[in-house]
Chain A
Amino acid sequence: MSEQENNIEFIKNLIAQDPPPLEEQSRHKETLLKMVKRRIWLGKMTGGATYIVLFSVAFWAFLRSDYTDNVVHSICWAALSLHILLWFLIYFLREIYRAMAEMAEKSFDKGIKGQWRNTDRFITIVAILVFAFANILLYRSFSLSDPLKASDVTAGVLWATVFFIFWYPFGTASLIGKLWFEYKKMELNINNSSDGSA
């Protein structure tokens, strides 16, 4: 018996000296899994509720822009509804980007680790600042009297999202490309080694 096998056997025997009582263990697992299921369900419900609330608010703002008599307010409400939806889209794109980056990091981890996290942190900070600034501008634009000025400001607010709407899909596409290259390289290595052994 090798040393490693000996160790595994020793651990098994040691644990067998004080195993968890079966009845107690199954009761514990049942409770635990019930709690975990509840947490998964709650997570899904919270996600769904957030999605519905954001869309409802955006739609409500859009409807208000239709029914108001004030031109400036109409422009601002329409911009607000788009502002909410676009930032929600950015958040969604960011989540996809992060999921891909984590997958790439765990699969190949060649220099990508610190790199993508630092970039993501920087872009997130910039996004938060831009979002906050856009909110202030939008809030202030409601008190403007000139519709031309209001449309200028709100167009600027909406344009601020464009960079992020482009950045995340391109980042995700580049990560998918990296993953694909690594996969191809791995595939070639497997083919070469199987040719060599044959």
Chain B
Amino acid sequence: MEEDKISDAILVLRCQKRDESAFRELVNRWEPRLYYYLRRVVESDSAVWDVLQETWLAVFQHIRRLEDPRKFPAWLYQIAHNKTVSMFRKEIKYVQITDEQMINYYENNFVFCYDIEQVETIHELLAKLKLAHREVITLYFLEGFSISEMAQIIGVSEGTVKSRLYYAKHKLHEALKGAKDV
């Protein structure tokens, strides 16, 4: 995991020097994850490829501005999110929930556990979640981003991310429990 991060950082540095082979390697490494994320937030299949294309072109164009290469994953997802929003020419409407008690409950009590065998069920359940919840939980599963990183990617407050993550985890937890009982 740590080795992957270091080699990603090296690839980013090479890309900043306009190394085409490094960019190709970066695309090969990150495309499946990015595709999975975009498929969860973009409805149409053809639009996914358009957003992906736009995202990678923006990455290539602005990668020199990325000061810390270790922050590449969060930066990449932030670009993908912004491209999605701008492609549809509107802010994706999310349900705004900032219930402090619920956030505290999530921080102090709620532990979401899943087994590796449940991956197929989780994948199917993701489709049933609301877009806002699906986006944060996908970022959480794929990259294990912190609350502040997710807030930066999506462009909302940390409280909003916490509450969305709480709802998404709670819904998945309930659904997984239901699936187990059946």
User: Which of A's residues lie within 8 Å of B, judged by CB?
Assistant: 4, 6-11, 13-15, 17-20, 24-25, 28-29, 31-33, 35-37, 39-40, 43, 105-106
* Count of chain B residues with a beta carbon within 8 Å of a chain A beta carbon: 32
Cα A20 to Cα B18 in complex, Å, equals 27
> A96: shortest Cβ distance to chain B, in Å?
13
Q: Which of B92-100, B116-124, B161-169, B174-182 contacts A (4 or more CB under 8 A)?
A: B116-124
* Chain A residue nearest to B61 in the complex (CB): A39
User: Is B120 touching A17 in the complex (CB atoms < 8 A)?
Assistant: yes
Selected from A4, A13, A18, A36, the residue in CB contact (under 8 A) with B23 is A36
User: Is A33 touching B24 in the complex (CB atoms < 8 A)?
Assistant: yes
- Interface of B: prevailing SS: helix
* Chain B residue nearest to A4 in the complex (CB): B1
User: Which of B's residues lie within 8 Å of A, judged by CB?
Assistant: 1, 13, 18, 20, 23-24, 27, 31-33, 35-36, 39, 49, 52-53, 56-57, 60-61, 67-69, 114, 116, 119-120, 122-123, 141-142, 144
Cα A13 to Cα B32 in complex, Å, equals 12
User: Is B144 touching A7 in the complex (CB atoms < 8 A)?
Assistant: yes
User: Is B27 touching A29 in the complex (CB atoms < 8 A)?
Assistant: yes
User: Is A24 touching B119 in the complex (CB atoms < 8 A)?
Assistant: no
* Chain B residue nearest to A99 in the complex (CB): B17
User: Is B60 touching A36 in the complex (CB atoms < 8 A)?
Assistant: yes
* Chain B residue nearest to A25 in the complex (CB): B31
Selected from A6, A14, A28, A32, the residue in CB contact (under 8 A) with B141 is A14
Give the residues in chain B near A35, CB-CB below 8 Å.
57
9 contacts between A and B (CB under 8 A): A4-B1, A7-B144, A14-B122, A20-B31, A29-B31, A36-B23, A40-B18, A40-B20, A106-B69
The verdict on A20 contacting B35 (CB below 8 Å), with A31-B53, A32-B53 known, is yes
> B16: shortest Cβ distance to chain A, in Å?
8
> A164: shortest Cβ distance to chain B, in Å?
23
Cα A18 to Cα B23 in complex, Å, equals 24
User: Is B24 touching A14 in the complex (CB atoms < 8 A)?
Assistant: no
User: Is A17 touching B56 in the complex (CB atoms < 8 A)?
Assistant: no
Selected from A15, A33, A40, the residue in CB contact (under 8 A) with B33 is A15
Give the residues in chain A near B57, CB-CB below 8 Å.
32, 35-36
The verdict on A13 contacting B119 (CB below 8 Å), with A25-B31, A39-B61 known, is yes
* Chain B residue nearest to A103 in the complex (CB): B13
Query: A11-B33, A33-B20, A36-B57 are known contacts; what are 9 more A-B pairs with Cβ within 8 Å?
Result: A4-B1, A10-B141, A15-B36, A17-B123, A19-B35, A24-B49, A32-B53, A36-B60, A37-B20
> B68: shortest Cβ distance to chain A, in Å?
8
User: Is B20 touching A36 in the complex (CB atoms < 8 A)?
Assistant: yes
Cα A127 to Cα B60 in complex, Å, equals 30
Cα A129 to Cα B67 in complex, Å, equals 27
> A31: shortest Cβ distance to chain B, in Å?
7
Selected from B1, B36, B61, B141, the residue in CB contact (under 8 A) with A8 is B1
Cα A19 to Cα B57 in complex, Å, equals 21
> A90: shortest Cβ distance to chain B, in Å?
21
* Chain B residue nearest to A105 in the complex (CB): B67
User: Is A10 touching B39 in the complex (CB atoms < 8 A)?
Assistant: no
User: Is A11 touching B1 in the complex (CB atoms < 8 A)?
Assistant: no
User: Is B32 touching A14 in the complex (CB atoms < 8 A)?
Assistant: no
Cα A25 to Cα B61 in complex, Å, equals 21
User: Is A14 touching B1 in the complex (CB atoms < 8 A)?
Assistant: no
User: Is B31 touching A13 in the complex (CB atoms < 8 A)?
Assistant: no
> B22: shortest Cβ distance to chain A, in Å?
11
> B126: shortest Cβ distance to chain A, in Å?
9
